[in-house]
Amino acid sequence: MGKGLLIVALGMSVIISFFILKLNANSKENLSTTINMFEQTQARLIANSGVEVYLERLKHDRSMMNKNFPNNNLFGGTYNISISGPDSLVQVTSRATFMSVQHTTVVEAAADKVPLYPGPGAMYLSTGTVAGLKKNAINGSIEINGNDHDINGNLIGGGSSVPGIAVDGVTQKNSVIAMITKNTIDQVLGSGGTPSVSVINNQVDWAEYAKLVADNPDIIIDTQEKVKTINIWGTLNDPKVTFVNGDIKINNSQAASGCGILVVNGSLEINGNFNYKGLVIAFKNTIIDIKLNGNAQILGSLVVAGTQINVDVSSGNFKAFYSTEALNLIQALLVTKRFSILSWWE
Amino acid sequence: MNFIMDIMGSSLIAGILFLLILKLNLYSSNANYYSDNELRLQQNVKTLAEVMNYDLRKIGYKYDGTAIVTAEPTRIQFFAEMNAPGTYGHGTVDFVEYYLGDSTEASATANQRDKVLYRIVNHTDTLGGPTLGLIDFRFSYLNSKGITTSILDSIKYVKAEFWVEPYEHVSNYLTNQPDSSQFTYWELTINPRNI
């Protein structure tokens, strides 16, 4: 009887063991099905991210063209990158491996340069800037001239003209005219009569444009310590993109001159001499505060799409002259802003 | 007398043990079958998801213009180059169509509700394949804000949902009736990068 029971018990144990093993095998297989889907997804995401990473790097370093970049690590996997082609048709191939699952992504892209948008006037004031204008925002010995000037600031006879001050609407125009009339500023010249304050149809998102232009600047002024006694932010032979980011002051014992594109995000207070040739864009929460005890000249165009501008000249003078010659100089500075994707295989 | 009592007692115990083993065997067979079915369900639905994932990500690849031609709940037609760069056939844009057949086309399976999902490339290359237990399939189309749209050139996301059941329903162990509660649902929302 005892033996019989033992045999029965052993038999049942064997049956149950097989049963459990079978269920366990199914469970493992089920899990591996799910995990495999995850691995495929992860491999695809790594390959795609690799393309994004290297297109961004290529934007700043064109020597990466026609090269391979193997064994990059990301998210626990690896990817190999191969870049080929001219600027007009860049092919980036990314082969990713994650937990032995492979995925290939092939992307074709074209380098897309930042377009040149010359300012619409010698000075452009956005609606937001006009709304923040103080009563004496522009005051003192000031000349804003929308007639075309050469690179030395001389008037070009018969040249094209733009408004001295360009604004977005009639309300803004009236505000600006009221302010300059009150402060007896009679040197706002350019197209549309005197004072040359005109409504223009602005199609440019200057804040976005400023960000594109300043994406990879040559000079960054983000602390007061970077402002020296003499500051040179580009020359006629070597124009630069300068990005002033933060609250910066050029005091009356300092001077700054430059050529190229100057993008300002923050508060720029100018007391000392300032001479710039090219395009100056102030955006975001920028406050341009020019309290001159010297001379300041912007030759090209000044675009104020920030919060506020104050030009208070107690001694010396401030000149903003439109110059196509100065603006043409900056064409070469405009870098590849991004790669526009032509096709994406994944 | 004792001998007879021993025989009867041991027979009773043996009978009970026999019934227990029989019941255990039935239960294990049923559970095995159920488990196998579940595994097959999972694998089938993953196969469908892989096919969908592969094809829908190609929508608009190497095609200029509005790539999606038809956007209906059970039918999608689109242009895309389906051959990978560097492989044979790459360079010609294909016209791809997916649509869901009806349950009469899968009469060989015991499940009366399963349907065939058709994939047609360039109007000729028809791939119906097995049903894989697919009983329903739904496409929905979303714009860049994630809102359902029927405007073809506004479509930025394609959502595919599918419901899969076993080919044959498992009989319920207790009621012995086909148990239809076993099914798998899968959804994926794809943002084809070329549209």
- pLDDT per residue as tens digits for the range A56-93: 899 878 789 999 999 999 999 999 999 998 888 999 99
Closest chain B residue by Cα to residue A48: B193
Helix H segments across chain A?
A: 2-60, 127-131, 170-182, 206-213, 324-328
Asked whether B32 and A19 are in contact (CB, 8 A), the reply is: yes
Report d(CA A257, CA A230) in Å as an integer.
8
Res B171: pLDDT: 63
Better pLDDT: A96 or A228: A96
> Which residues of chain A have a CB within 8 Å of the CB of B193?
341, 344, 346
Better pLDDT: A264 or B71: B71
> Which residues of chain B have a CB within 8 Å of the CB of A33?
39, 42-43, 46
Burial A183-193 (b: 16+ CB within 10 A, else e): bebebbbbbbe
**Averaged pLDDT, B9-13:** 88
Does the N-terminal peptide bond of residue A195 adopt cis geometry, omega within 30 degrees of 0?
A: yes
Res A186: pLDDT: 77
In this complex, do B58 and A26 lie within 8 Å of one another by their Cβ atoms?
A: no
Nearby residues of A235 by Cβ (< 8 Å), 6 or more positions away: A258, A259
* Domain chopping of chain B, boundaries: 2-190
Res A306: pLDDT: 75
The mean pLDDT of chain A is 86
What are the φ/ψ torsions at residue A62 (nearest 5 degrees)? -75, -10
**Averaged pLDDT, A190-196:** 88
Better pLDDT: B128 or B156: B156
Residue A225 sits at the chain B interface (C-beta within 8 Å): no
pLDDT in tens, A252-290: 888 899 999 999 888 788 888 889 999 999 887 667 777
Q: Which of A137-141, A187-191, B27-31 shows the lowest mean pLDDT across its residues?
A: A137-141
Residue A23 sits at the chain B interface (C-beta within 8 Å): yes
In this complex, do B49 and A33 lie within 8 Å of one another by their Cβ atoms?
A: no
Q: Is A333 exposed, middle or buried (0-12, 13-18, 19+ CB in 10 A)?
A: buried
Model confidence band, residue B54 (pLDDT cutoffs 50, 70, 90): very high
Instruction: Compare CB distances from B31 to A23, A343, A346 and report the shortest one's residue.
Output: A23
Res A278: pLDDT: 93
Per the DSSP assignment, residues forming a β-bridge with A106 are: A93, A345
Model confidence band, residue A298 (pLDDT cutoffs 50, 70, 90): very high
**Averaged pLDDT, B106-128:** 81
Interface of A with B in 92-151 (CB under 8 A): 104, 106
pLDDT in tens, B140-177: 999 999 999 999 999 999 999 999 888 776 666 666 66
Disruptive mutation site among B170, B194, B195 for chain A (greatest number of A CBs within 10 Å) = B194
Two structure tokens written together for A232? 């040179």
Task: Say how many CA atoms lie within 13 Å of A130 toward its Cβ.
Answer: 23
Disruptive mutation site among A19, A48, A91 for chain B (greatest number of B CBs within 10 Å) = A19
Two structure tokens written together for A62? 């064109």
Asked whether A201 and A164 are in contact (CB, 8 A), the reply is: no
**Local structure of residue B148 (DSSP, 8 states):** B
Two structure tokens written together for A229? 């006694």
Res B35: pLDDT: 82
Query: Residue B181 above 70 pLDDT?
Result: no
Query: Residue B180 above 60 pLDDT?
Result: no
How many Cβ contacts (< 8 angstroms) between chains A and B? 58
ipTM comes to 0.83
Better pLDDT: B164 or B29: B164
Res B174: pLDDT: 65
pLDDT in tens, B75-101: 999 999 999 888 888 888 999 999 998
Asked whether A246 and A226 are in contact (CB, 8 A), the reply is: no
Res B141: pLDDT: 96
Res B81: pLDDT: 93
Query: Residue B28 above 60 pLDDT?
Result: yes
Report d(CA A267, CA A253) in Å as an integer.
19
Two structure tokens written together for B74? 């059970």
